[in-house]
Structure 1
């Protein structure tokens, strides 16, 4: 299957932005949510879902649903092992360093593990306990586990029922559905992990973004597929929304909090709940990217280092987590712990390390079945 260098470059860009956001430097706030009230996490999840829909639906159409499921399981196992290794690195090396030098940032990060080591270790491996920064891969694993069943259903019945259910779950999440499910788990299963230690991302909300990307990617393999086209009025509207949110984000006195201290109104743009106005901002940017992205890619020079990181997104993502955890252990979470030149050297060292990981991992992060899919359809 053809590999899209544009997608790799975009995923590489999302990894760069996430790294800048997670590393405590003077660039953390200015470059957080750089395009409006949308972060790199949304772009990374959407692109990952698009690629999954594109690759695995092709396997389903050509080799059959069982081969598609097997390909998903192999990918899930690889992602889980990467997450488990990162988690063990946090519980051993980072926690040991943090306790030795009495680093508050580390002790806050693993507070539940320090209070209940056995439960923290067990429920961490079970993807229930998710310390901050280590909550994206568990969500990705959950979505990948559900995806073969959803894709198989959509291949038979279409995407409309899937997206209706997904939108309903997203809406329920805005009104406390996750907390209600957590209450049931505590009451009937005796779950000991506090709610706030189960990851910042609301899975019931973010699944809508994942399945939207999965549907768009899978639709590219549908018979009679046509390029996505948007009417002129929608492009004008999307441009207006995107420009206004960009202006609001970078000129407003509240920075990344659109309404300052107004908690209720900020929920409309909330990242963790994927608030409704945040979705509007994201859709506007997506429409503009689809319409003008190909033209922009033809005008800009290809950046091989971005493509390399995007094509090896899983190991590079884990490398960025290791770097961020080491910085937290030795420097803490202060954004002004170093002078400007120190921040510049730190960022240069981290990005060099991520690029080297990408070069070493080149080809290792590509699902093998996708490259081996035959051109003729599988026989029944």
Structure 2
């Protein structure tokens, strides 16, 4: 299958934005949600789902549903092992450093584990306890385990039922589905992990984004697949809405909180719940990216360093977590603890390391491969 370098570059861009957002520097706030009230996390999940739908539906067409299911499970296992390795790094090296220098930023992040090390360790490996920053991959694993069944059903019966069910679950998530299930788990199983320690992302809401991307990717392999096309009026509306969201985000007095201190209204744009207006903002940006993105990418020089990071998205993502946790343990979470030149040096060192990880992964994959082999498959 042809490899789309544009998608690799976009995923690399999402990784860059996530790294800048998570590292405590003066660029954290200005480059957080840079295009409106949408973060790099939405783009990364949507692109990953699109690639998964593209790749694994092709496996199903060529080798059957069983092969597709096994490929999903192998990927889920790889992601789980990456999560487990990152957790071990957090619970050993980062914990030791933060306790030795009495670093509040990490001690707050690890408050449940420090108070309950045995339960914290066990339930983190069970993907129930999810410390801050380490709550994206468990959600990703959850989606990967569900995807083969959903994809097989959709390829046989169509996507309408799948997307209606997914939208229904998203709607229920806006009204407390996760909290209700948590209360049942506490009541009948005695779950000891507090709700706020189970990850900031509401997976029941974010699954809508994942299955939308899965549908979009799988649809490209359908026998009668047509290019995505949008009427002119919709492009005009999307452009106006995207510009308004961009202006509101960067020139409004409230920054990343669109309605300031109004908690109820801010839920409409809430990241963790994937609020309805946040989805609207993402949709209009997606329409513009699909329509104008390919032409734009052809007119600029290829950014090979972004492509390399996008190709090795999982190792680079884990490496970015290691870098962020290390910085938090050593310097704390203050965004102004260093002068400007210190932030520049820090970002330069981190991104050099991430690019080094990407190139190392590429070198490792190329060992023993025939010339041009890696140019063929598009892997998630």
Cα deviation for residue 369 of structure 1 reads: 12
Provide the C-alpha distance between the structure 2 equivalents of 1:247 and 1:262, rounded to a whole number of angstroms: 20
Provide the C-alpha distance between the structure 2 equivalents of 1:49 and 1:254, rounded to a whole number of angstroms: 32
What residue number does 1:324 align with?
A: 324
Stretch of structure 1 that moved more, 236-245 or 356-365: 356-365
Q: Report if aligned partners of 1:55, 1:370 keep a CA contact under 8 Å in 2.
A: no
Cα deviation for residue 362 of structure 1 reads: 1.3
Any residues of structure 2 matched to 1:174-323 within 5 Å, and which? 174-323=174-323
Cα deviation for residue 364 of structure 1 reads: 6.2
Any residues of structure 2 matched to 1:66-85 within 5 Å, and which? 66-85=66-85
Cα deviation for residue 333 of structure 1 reads: 0.3
Provide the C-alpha distance between the structure 1 equivalents of 2:363 and 2:296, rounded to a whole number of angstroms: 26
TM-score (norm 2): 0.96
Q: Report if aligned partners of 2:3, 2:377 keep a CA contact under 8 Å in 1.
A: no
Provide the C-alpha distance between the structure 1 equivalents of 2:361 and 2:161, rounded to a whole number of angstroms: 38
Any residues of structure 2 matched to 1:1-380 within 5 Å, and which? 1-362=1-362
Provide the C-alpha distance between the structure 1 equivalents of 2:365 and 2:317, rounded to a whole number of angstroms: 11
Provide the C-alpha distance between the structure 2 equivalents of 1:221 and 1:248, rounded to a whole number of angstroms: 38
Cα deviation for residue 205 of structure 1 reads: 0.2
Query: How many residue pairs end up in the alignment?
Result: 372
| Alpha carbons of structure 1 residues 39 and 210: separation in structure 2 relative to 1, 3 Å | same
SS in 1 for 2:362: coil
Q: Report if aligned partners of 1:12, 1:310 keep a CA contact under 8 Å in 2.
A: yes
Q: Report if aligned partners of 1:309, 1:358 keep a CA contact under 8 Å in 2.
A: yes
1:271-308 superposed Cα distances (whole Å, 9 cap, x missing partner): 00000000000000000000000110111110000000
Cα deviation for residue 370 of structure 1 reads: 11
Q: Report if aligned partners of 1:46, 1:210 keep a CA contact under 8 Å in 2.
A: yes
TM-score (norm 1): 0.96
Q: Report if aligned partners of 1:50, 1:218 keep a CA contact under 8 Å in 2.
A: yes
SS in 2 for 1:362: helix
Q: Report if aligned partners of 2:8, 2:310 keep a CA contact under 8 Å in 1.
A: yes
Q: Report if aligned partners of 1:312, 1:364 keep a CA contact under 8 Å in 2.
A: no
Q: Report if aligned partners of 2:2, 2:375 keep a CA contact under 8 Å in 1.
A: no
Provide the C-alpha distance between the structure 2 equivalents of 1:85 and 1:365, rounded to a whole number of angstroms: 20
SS in 2 for 1:34: coil
Provide the C-alpha distance between the structure 1 equivalents of 2:325 and 2:14, rounded to a whole number of angstroms: 19
| Alpha carbons of structure 1 residues 123 and 364: separation in structure 2 relative to 1, 3 Å | farther
Q: Report if aligned partners of 1:11, 1:310 keep a CA contact under 8 Å in 2.
A: yes
Provide the C-alpha distance between the structure 1 equivalents of 2:184 and 2:310, rounded to a whole number of angstroms: 39
Provide the C-alpha distance between the structure 1 equivalents of 2:374 and 2:17, rounded to a whole number of angstroms: 30
SS in 2 for 1:226: coil
Stretch of structure 1 that moved more, 357-366 or 236-245: 357-366
Provide the C-alpha distance between the structure 2 equivalents of 1:42 and 1:8, rounded to a whole number of angstroms: 16
Cα deviation for residue 356 of structure 1 reads: 0.3
Provide the C-alpha distance between the structure 1 equivalents of 2:286 and 2:11, rounded to a whole number of angstroms: 14
What residue number does 2:369 align with?
A: none
Cα deviation for residue 224 of structure 1 reads: 1.1
SS in 1 for 2:227: coil
What residue number does 1:376 align with?
A: none
SS in 2 for 1:295: helix
1:329-379 superposed Cα distances (whole Å, 9 cap, x missing partner): 00000001100000000000000000000000117689x999679xxxxxx
Deviating runs (4+, > 2 A) in structure 1? Answer: 363-366, 368-373
Q: Report if aligned partners of 1:76, 1:141 keep a CA contact under 8 Å in 2.
A: yes
SS in 1 for 2:193: coil
